[in-house]
Structure 1
Amino acid sequence: MDMKSQKLAALSFLTAFSALPAASALTFENIKARLEAAGYSQIREVPSGKIKTFKATRDGKERSILVDSTGHIQELQ
């Protein structure tokens, strides 16, 4: 997925969840546990403003991930 597609996906994601409280309601430990349960490792937060964005490894590839305030995980490829 190219950068333009990633930005479009992120915008769609933000629009869909804009009525929800900020993702900061979940702690890093909560989010890390959810990502680990989903098969991710080497999880780290990437500063990005109001939405929690993470980098993590899954199936040997580094991935960009968005997590909303409910803990919903969306991978940007």
Structure 2
Amino acid sequence: MHYYDGNFGGMHLIWWIIWIALIAWIFFIPADIPYQKSKKENPLDILKRRFAKGEITKEDYEKSKKILNADSPKNLNT
């Protein structure tokens, strides 16, 4: 290892810090980065949200909910 005038050379330390930070970022970053992937909403969630916002009436909500529950995969197998 070469020492220049007794100094270790700060650039070497900076590169180690960069590499460690890069490796840590790759392995420890959460899989779901906010706003990168949109959460898939099922139709019932969308219906509930629209009803909560007042976009549809209670009658429309109940009718649509009944239709969605009738078409759900668990009911198709029976």
Q: Which has the larger radius of gyration?
A: 2
Global fold match (TM > 0.5): no
More helix per residue: 2
| TM-score of the two chains, using structure 1 as the length reference | 0.24
Task: Point out the structure with the larger strand share.
Answer: 1
Higher relative contact order (CA 8 A, sep 6+): 1
